[in-house]
Every structure is written in structure tokens, then in C-alpha cells.
Structure 1
Amino acid sequence: MIKRAFIFGAMAAGALALAGCDGMLPMGEAEAALDIPEIEAGELSEATMIDITRQLSSDEFGGRMPGTKGEELTVALLTERFEAAGLQPGNNGSWVQEVPLIEITGTNFAPLTITNGETDLAFDYGTEWTAVTYREDAQTQIANSDLVFVGYGINAPEKGWNDYEGVDVKGKTVVILVNDPDWETEGLEGPFNGKAMTYYGRWSYKYEEAARQGAAAALIVHDTDPASYGWNVVESSWGGPQAYPQRGENAPPLTSLNGWVQKEVAREILAAAGQDLDALTAAAKTEGFEAVDLGMTASTSFESTFRSFTSQNVIGVLPGSEAPDEYVLHTAHWDHLGTCNPPADDGDNICNGAVDNATGTAALVALAEAHAKAGAPRRSLVFLAVTAEESGLLGAYYYASNPVFPLDQTVGGINMDAFQVAGPAKDVTVVGPGKSQLDAFLDAALAADGRVATPNPKPEAGYYYRSDHFAFAKQGVPMLYIDGGEDLIDGGREAGAAVAKDYTDNRYHGPKDEFNEEWDWSGVMADLQLFYRIGRSMAMSTSWPNWNDGDEFRGVRDESCASSEAGC
């Protein structure tokens, strides 16, 4: 039985009324009432979660690198389980959407050599610096390229901020700080949202802007706190084969080399140039910062081999009973890194990706089963397992650019990436609260389950820009991203923080993210029940939730809806 509750935007202050949270914005008074049905608990299978997570993260699947045998096994498993769950093929009779990619593997890396004619410095690839190329060049060579320190490497006209103003970096190598200038701010006030990272703080933006400025190479200074992960993550994620979308005509410009250097390497380079890293970092945080020509040059080279291949998004749909042309998305990425570099101390080099993201992929199947058992909701439910997230959200971006189901007929969605397997929590962690009216649907589900929301405890990490929902948000589709809770029933917030730290330090993007038969799945199932309630409520609703007034994605959605004859 479905009960309906009409919740107004101004009333969505319940579980998410947390002042100063991660970019939180109040719901606008002018927003229309939202139709938020009350949803009974779903029949969710813990056995499904365990079995699929175990299979996907087994050594047989080889770390689920796109374009490998691991992909073939993954796609076959998901197709089989989606069909058994009661879904229909989601792409015009097919279970898959083909995603054209190219794999680039760098080899024979020369040291990164820095010189000013008097001082010669050389740094070893892997342990001190790492790099890739996005170009299809058999040989990449940076020879005597002038080094320029460009602070945070941001060009944001709407904020009156341009770290490249007055400097010509064409053909040069830019050295860039990670994150935003105000990432150390305690609150969320500042030119770049204070402590909360904006897209300008993400490494992907920094490389894109360096290329637009004509730089030959871009080197980001790795610093664990503002990056929110250690050098081991950089080394494992950027070593080995890298997948990228195949470039078409009129593609944006590219640098020849994009890389990272250890913080102490950057300190040594700047010292040789007569500069101090700490002093330049402090200066880069201020408006009007001027780039610094370091009077030194950089040189390195490496070779690349290429493989063009087609990867696959897997799509299943449960057609709606009354509004089948209106869609609610559930997304998770099925891929991982394949092999890890460096390997673990015991020689294990398979990046099994059990938590990240075999758990989220299993959740797609478990949710599909539960929704099918409950019967078709009024709107269609789409279950989308995307490829190449670890390579830069490539599968999600491809779908968002080539949607099977029109985005202006897509109500919104939920992304699932890495479930917390340390037992039940009183809360859930909301990444990017206050961004959209989907918060009201989350509020209702939390109230039904007797739980509360905690804002992202590390807004400086920019997690909202680091998983697949971001690709859809950029196209205007409202998306929720929710992580496991921090306030564990057994041990409270101290235990929750310890679990998160242990995973980040010892397993994230490493060979020890492996399935464990001793895991406590009760917290996973509680989170999954929350996702079930949210998704089904959206699918039973008649409302079209939007981004909040002033949100960065509101304009895109409004434009999309204004031009639509159907949907929003």
C-alpha cells in the first residue's frame, strides 16, 4: 500500500538541517510542493550482495579492468543477474551500451630532470613522480621545458580569479598545487566554498586548464591532506595502462604530459630555484597571485603503446506502470584498476576492488530484485552499471552524452560507490547536501528508517566531483550521493573515523581491497534499504525535483526542461 506525503521545500529541514554543511543551501520558498510517497521496506537479499561482491572481487575477474577478460566476466554476470531479477534489456533490446575507448600504456620512463645550468636534479619515476599522456604519440618527450609555478592553476572569470593572468605558459611545464586556495578554511565561506572543494580543485580540471593555456606539461604537487589520499593511491592509479575516450574532431587541446610530483620533490625543485614552497603556497591562496617563472627547465621522456577497444555499460530497466517514459536512475561503476603498482608486500598485485566498487555493483542487482518483487512503480527504474569510472568517469560521461533514456525525461538518480562493511551506523554520510530537492526524498527515507544524516566530514576532498553521479549532474540531472555512516552503533564516531582511515590508508586503490568472509553486512543492508525507499519514492512520485536556487547545476536543468516537450 502506498501512502502519500506532500512535503514542501521549506519543510525539508529534518535530518538535513545541519548548518554549514558541505555547501548546504536552504530550500527556496518559491519551490512547489513535492509529492513524496511513503514506501514500505523492500525485500532485499543479503545473499545477493555477498555472492556478487565475492564473485566480482575474486582473482578470476582480475581486478575488472575495462577491455580485459575481467570485463567479459563482469558483463556476463550482470546480464545474467539483471535478467534473472526481472529487468528488461535497457538499450533497445540490448543489455549493453558500447563505449569506445583507447588504452595507453607508458613504458621506459626516463627520470624527471630539473636544471638551471648550475644545479641538476633527477627524480625517479614511480616513487618520486609519475605521469601519463592523453595523446596518441609513440614517444613523449619534454625537453628543456621552462618551469612556471602557477599556484592552484585556476582560471575562474566568474570569481575574478586567474592564476594564469599575465603569464605565457605555451610550451612550458606548469607546477600546480592540489585542491582550492581556501581548502584549509574551517567553515564553508570563501571564494571557493571554503573547506568544501569545488571542481576547480580537482586534478582533472587543472590538467584541462593547463592544456587550454597551451602548456606542454602539467605537474601537480601531491600533498596528502588536500588531496585526501596518499602517494600510494597516485602511484597505483596512474601506473600501468590508462583508458581514455577516443577523441573525435574538434576535441579540446591536450598537454603532452600530465603528472604528479611528491611534495618534498616540489620543495627541492623550488629551493633550487631560490624559492620556498611554503611561502609560494601561502601567496597562491591570495587573490591577485602572480605566477612565478622558476628559471629552471624540466626534461623527461617515455614511450607509449596503444590499444583501441570497446568497453560496455550494462543497462537494465524495470518499465513503469503509468509513466514508463519517465526514468529514475540507479548507477554504480563495475570497473576497477586491474593490477596494482606497487604490489603488496606479499607480492599480490591484483586490485580486486571488493569495496570499490563490487559492493555498489552488487547493490544494483539487489535493488533490481527487490523492486521487481514489489511490482512495477509508476515510473521506470533504470539500473546502469558503468565502465571506466577509475579512468575518469568515462562510462558515465559517455552515457550522459549519449543517453539511452532522454535526460530531460530522467527525474533524478542515486549513485552507489563503495559500501561501508563495518557494521550498522546511526547515520549516513551525505556528500553534497543542500544541492537539490532530492534531499526531501532522502529526509523521508531517513525518517522511515529512524536514521539521521551527517554532512560529509571531509568536504575538502571534493567527493561530489569524484564519482559517476557528477557526469549526470553536469548535464543537469539531480543526483544523490550517499556514503556509509560515521556514527557506528558499536563504537560511535571514533570507531567510524578509524574504519574510514584504515580503508583509505591500507586498502583504497590497493591490492588489499579484497573480499572478507568475516564482514558485517548489517550496515550495508540498512543503507541499501534507504536507497530502495528513495528510488521507489521517486519512481512513485508525480514531482520533478530540481537543483536548489543558486546551485551550479540549476541553470543546465532549467534550460533542458524549458526546451522539453515531455518530462520535466
Structure 2
Amino acid sequence: MTRALLAAAAASLLAGTTLAAPAISVETLRTVTQTLSSDAYEGRAPTTPGEEKTVAYIADRFAKAGLKPGARGGWFQPVPLVETTVDPKVTMKIAGGATPLEFAYKTDMVLSTRQVTPRIDIAGSDVVFVGYGINAPEKGWNDYAGLDVKGKTVIVLINDPDWKTMSLDGPFGGRAMTYYGRWTYKYEEAARQGAAAVLIVHDTEPAAYPFGVVVSSWSGPQLEIDAKDNHMGESKAIGWITNDAAHRLFAAAGKDYDQLVTAAAQKGFKAVPLGLKASTGFDVKVRRQASRNVVGILPGKTAPGDYVLYTAHWDHLGRCEPVEGDGICNGALDNASGVAGLIAIAEAAAKEGPAARSQVFVAVTAEESGLLGSAYYAENPLYPLKNTVGGVNMDGLNVNGVSRDVTVVGLGKSELDDMVARAAKAQGRTISRESTPEKGSYYRSDHFSFAKLGVPMLDAKAGVDLVEGGPERGKALAADYTAKRYHGPKDEYDPRWDWSGAVQDLELYYAVGHELADGKAWPNWFPKDEFRAIRDKSRMTK
């Protein structure tokens, strides 16, 4: 740590303890968040006029903060994207059961495709229930065992088989979601198995958000990294169906849905052909256009070839499903506030002066479309990942006031935990695990793009134990945001927000980042972590 950080006060949090870091500007937090989440930015969807305003504004703020252009002489790293938009008149028909079914778009289901083609047609595809859709050889679990689903439609449950377990014990980590539980994995595995269509059954608790979030996120234009094969190896149709629609589908097949869901949670579950035929067809509008990551750098003074990353995603959903006549998803907390934090830390770091190592600040695009901007940077790094020490990711700041604890997403995975613990102790705070590990937060933000390629990245946030109101108020406010504002038009800037908690967290992020930047440590993953071997191999080639 720098001398300033080592001089952190020893008083308790309740007495107002903060790390002795350069001041984090509340004015920056307010101004940047309010600006980026205003209607003028149209919800910051990539490849729209809203992007043009957004990336220009961030580059300007980076320059004013004191950063240098970090993308090969400029501020922007182009990210090649392809946009597909499904005709909203799409329906899905289910035949062969006791009652013919027709599922309506946005009411019963949402459908999309990753294939870059003007038309998708699926006719008379056999429907198979594959439980949680997991193939995990290391766990002796394969929901596709002995099954050929080529050309078929698979019905899949969200999350892991043991998500109802209240402890962290179980074949898939109990209450804590693994990557096998994420919707991204479900589609990836079904495509590997050759499925023509994949429908995930939505259930609010294991999904961690209501079906309205699915509709907002999945209707309208969808983005993917542009690829030479046009993603033709993916399933033709991917999407979600409501829990109610799933019950009707299973009833039409003469099956007890609840009974089969219970069976699917047991090891050795065998997939169940439902004796139904699924048909759908829809037109797809295709548009290719590059988006941009915004990159700034503070060059290091003694080890400029070593790099510390700070990241936050600038994008949101743009124009979305209207609520009370409002059809712009402004994304104030998610993640205009995170970008504000990124800029505020850049200002503080520039004021402090050059650290030993270089500090790279990246506002990434297309997080809401599947971490695309961070994935593109990680796979096409402007600064080698083998020389990237680690970093900090920011996705939504705390506007509810200071907390007694700090939550580390993915606690117990890397040696960054020790740095967080030191910074938290200096603030008089404790470290807590996620209160809702079933949400799978570790796999839902941009740090994961770097983690899976070996770079330890901190993803932390204020805990739920607020100084004013305790854990009861903290949990209630978090639940209220998820239910009423997350990925919807109501995620708007509020001048009444209390930024003291955001400042508290940003001081902690700064402390961890600056310890990395001004030190010689190369934090690794703990020995049994899934990413340890990748990091070790990368470091051997340094």
C-alpha cells in the first residue's frame, strides 16, 4: 500500500472511519450518474445514437480526470457486434398432446436466436424435458446421458439442482449458484448437444428476477459478438417460458410438472420425452455495427509494463417494454453509477500521481447482452493478460448509506480476499458472503470475463448491514430494487440518494487497486479454484 493508505485511521466505522485515500468526489458521482441516465442518452443501448453520446461523454470525463488515451493512441477499442431483432409477431405452437397449445410472445414466452440469418423455422420438433440441462463429468452428472436431442426442443430448469438447499453444501454448492446454473450455460450446453430450440422455465426465486425482467431484456434487438460462422453452430431458437406455460405444457403431455421437477434434482435423473411437437417460425432483422469500449490509462513510473484494471459497463437496455408510458430503461444504478465510480476513482488516482504499475480504466460495452465488451477485451487485450496483475469491477453503487459490512462476490476464490480484508478492517467493516448466493452474481458481471482467462478481479459491494436500519433495511431495499426497478424504466436517478455508502465502497476499491498498483504482489487464485491452472500457465509465459 501507499504511505497514505497505511495511515488509515484506527477508529471504528460508527465513529466515521474512512481510508486515508484521495477524496472521492460526490459531485462526480451525482453528475455522471444523472447525465448518463437521463432520457437524452436513450438508455445507452450499444450501436444506437445513445452510444454515441455515452462514449463521447466518458472519453471527455476520462481526459478531464487526467487519464491518457489507452486504446492504441485513442480512447476507443472497437467491438464488432451483430444485432438481431426477432419479429414480435412470433408464436410457438405445441401439438401432439391432450390439448393443442399456442404460446404468445411476451405473455407466455420470449424467443430469440443467436444464429445470424434472416429466417428461423422449426417444424414438428420433438419436445424433451432435460431437467437442469447439465453435463458435468467431474461431478458425475449428465442430464443428457444416453439421449440424442439433435433437432429437438429441450425444456430446461434454471439454476442448479440443489438451489433450494439453504446451506452451501451440495453437489453444486448448495444455495450458491455455479456456472452450470446460469442461463448462458444452459444454452451453450444445449447447442453442444445439437438441440434445435431451448426453452428455460422461468421461476422468480431461482432466476433471481421476475419474468418482466426477462421480457425487458430479451424482447427487442439482441447483440452478439460478430463471428465468421454467423453463430450457425448455436441452437436455432433460444428463450424462456413462464412457469404457468410450463405447467400447461406438461399437463398437455399428461405429466406432473412438480413431480418431474423434484425428480430432476436427483443424481441419475433421466431425461423425459414429452411426446409433443413444437413449431415456430420468425423473421430476423440483422444489422452489423461496431460498438466501443472506452479505455484510459495512467502509465506506471517504475513498472509500466504491469497493469491493474478498473472496469465498469456503460451500456443498458435502451428503449424497452414501457411501464406507465415510460419506455426508456435509463439504467441509473445499473450501471451509470458504476461508470461514475470508475471516473471518480480515475480522478483520485490521477491526483495521487503515478503508481509503480500502470492503471487501466475500461468502460466496457454490451454487458447486458452477455458480458460482450469485457469478453472481447479479455480475448483481444490492449495490454497482455499475462502482465495484468488484477483489478476491480464496479456494477452498481450503494446509494442507501454506509454499511457495517462489505460483500465480496466470489469470496474464497482468490488472494484478493486478503487485500479486501485489510481495507475493510481499516474502515471498521467486516467481510460478508453474499446474502443471495442463488443469484449467481459471480457469473453475471464483467469481472467473470477476466476471471475465466486467469486474471483475479474484485467484485464487491456494500453489505446489507446498513448503519441506519441494519440488515432488515438493507435486505428490504435490495429486494425492492430487484422487484420494481432492476432492468426496467423505473431505474432512474433520484436526487435524494445517499452517496455516503458509495464513497465508502469506492475508497475500499481504491485501496485494493492502489495496493496492487504500488506493490509487487501477483495475487493468484487459491490452489483448488477452477481458474488457478489458467493463471499459473499465463504467469509461466510472462
Letter in 2 for 1:74: T
2-structure distance, mates of 1:109, 1:180: 33
Asked whether the 8 Å contact 1:196–1:461 carries over to 2, the reply is yes
SS in 2 for 1:167: coil
Partner of 1:279: 259
Q: Which amino acid aligns with 1:402?
A: N
Greater mean deviation of Cα atoms: 252-261 or 242-251: 242-251
Matched, 1:432 2:410: yes
Task: Give yes or no for the alignment of 1:46 onto 2:26.
Answer: yes
Which position in structure 1 is the counterpart of 2:346?
368
- Give the C-alpha shift of residue 123 in structure 1: 1.6
The one of 97, 101, 108 aligned to 1:121: 101
Is 1:270 matched up with 2:255? no
User: Distance between the aligned counterparts of 1:275 and 1:420, measured in 2?
Assistant: 46
Amino acid at match of 1:550: K
Partner of 2:295: 315
1:73 aligns with 2:73: no
Match of 2:388 in 1: 410
1:397 to 350, 353, 375: 375
Structure 1 residue 440: Cα displacement: 0.7
C-alpha distance in structure 1 between counterparts of 2:34 and 2:222, whole Å: 25
Q: Could you tell me how far apart the structure 2 residues matched to 1:485 and 1:369 are? A: 25
Distance 1:87 1:448 in 2: 28
Deviation, structure 1 residue 69: 1.0
Between the aligned partners of 1:320 and 1:58, the Cα distance in structure 2 is 35
CA deviations on 1:385-432 (whole Å, 9 max, x unpaired) are 000000000000000000001001000011100112111211122111
Structure 1's unaligned 5+ residue stretches are 7-37
Whole-angstrom CA distance in 1 between matches of 2:19 and 2:211: 44
Deviation of 1:485 after TM superposition, in Å, equals 2.0
Give the letter aligned to residue 261 of structure 2.
T
Q: Which of 76, 82, 95 is equivalent to 1:102? A: 82
Cα distance in 2 for residues equivalent to 1:110 and 1:5: 57
Q: Which residue of 2 aligns with 1:491?
A: 469
Aligned to 1:13: none
1:356 matched residue in structure 2: 334
Question: What SS does structure 2 have at the residue aligned with 1:340?
Answer: strand
- Cα contact 1:139–1:303 (8 A) shared by 2: yes
Q: Does the CA contact (< 8 Å) of 2:307 and 2:517 recur in 1?
A: yes
User: Which residue pairs with 2:502 in the alignment?
Assistant: 524
Q: Measure the CA separation in 2 of the matches of 1:158 and 1:250.
A: 31
Among 200, 221, 226, the alignment partner of 1:220 is 200
1:119: how far off?
2.1
2:117 counterpart residue number = 137
Specify the SS of the correspondent of 1:60: helix
- More displaced, 423-432 or 44-53? 423-432
Please tell me whether the aligned partners of residues 414 and 480 of structure 1 are also in contact (alpha carbons under 8 angstroms): yes
Deviation at 1:321, TM superposition (A): 1.2
What is the CA-CA distance between 1:137 and the residue it aligns to?
1.8
In 2, the alpha carbon distance for the partners of 1:104 and 1:523 equals 39
Counterpart AA for 1:211: A
Tell me the equivalent position of 1:331: 311
Corresponding residue for 1:421?
A: 399
Contact 1:3 1:39 in 2 (8 A): no
Alignment match of 1:59 (pick from 39, 44, 59): 39
User: Partner amino acid for 2:323?
Assistant: A
Q: How far 1:117 moved relative to its partner?
A: 5.7
TM-score (norm 2): 0.96
In structure 2, the partner of 1:195 is 175
- Kept in 1: contact 2:314–2:339 (CA 8 A): yes
Report if the CA contact (8 A) 1:109-1:303 is conserved. Answer: no
Q: CA RMSD in A?
A: 1.7
Q: Cα deviations across residues 65-120 of structure 1 (Å, max 9, x unaligned)?
A: 00011111111111111111111111121111000001111114332211116520
User: CA offset at residue 40 of structure 1?
Assistant: 3.2
Q: Which residue of 150, 156, 166 corresponds with 1:176?
A: 156
Preserved CA contact (<8 Å) 2:131 2:143: yes
Identify the residue that residue 2 of structure 1 maps to in structure 2: 2
Work out whether residues 115 and 231 of structure 2, in 8 Å CA contact, stay in contact via their aligned partners in 1.
no
Identity in percent:
55
**Residue 409 of structure 2 contacts residue 442 of structure 2 at CA under 8 Å; is this kept in 1?**
yes
Provide the secondary structure at the position in 2 that maps to 1:349.
strand
Whether the 8 Å contact between 2:310 and 2:393 is mirrored in structure 1 is yes
Q: Deviations over 1:332-355 (max 9, x none)?
A: 0000000121x112x001000000
Partner of 1:301: 281
In the alignment, the residues of structure 2 paired with residue 94 and residue 111 of structure 1 have an alpha-carbon distance, to the nearest angstrom, of 46
What are the Cα deviations for residues 232-254 of structure 1, in whole angstroms up to 9, with x where unaligned? 10010001011111112596820
**Which of 254, 259, 270 is the equivalent residue of 2:234?**
254
| Structure 1 stretches of 4+ moved >3 Å | 1-6, 249-252
Q: Is structure 2 residue 442 aligned with structure 1 residue 464? A: yes
The DSSP-based 3-state class of the residue aligned with 1:501 is helix
- Residue aligned with 2:535, SS: helix
> SS in structure 2 opposite 1:309?
strand
* Cα shift at 1:39: 7.2
Report the equivalent of 1:381. Answer: 359
**2:323 aligns to what SS in structure 1?**
coil
Q: Distance in 1 between matches of 2:187 and 2:444?
A: 15
Task: Tell me the distance in 1 between the aligned counterparts of 2:183 and 2:26.
Answer: 37
Length-normalised TM-score, structure 1: 0.92
Conserved? CA contact 1:39–1:537, under 8 Å:
no
Contact 1:321 1:377 in 2 (8 A): yes
Corresponding letter in the other structure for 1:444: R
Spell out, residue by residue over 1:446-495, the C-alpha distance to the aligned partner (whole angstroms, 9 max, x if none): 11111112210111110000000000001000011112220111110000
Identify if the C-alpha distance between structure 1 residues 261 and 117 changes in structure 2 by more than 3 Å, giving closer, same or farther: closer
Structure-2 separation of matches of 1:253 and 1:563? 32
Alignment coverage as a number of residue pairs: 532
> 1:126-183, CA deviations, whole angstroms, 9 ceiling, x for partnerless residues?
0110010111221212211110000000111111111001111000000000000111
Moved more, 105-114 or 146-155: 105-114
Unaligned stretches of 5+ residues in structure 2: 7-17
Aligned 8 A contact 2:5 2:21 in 1: no
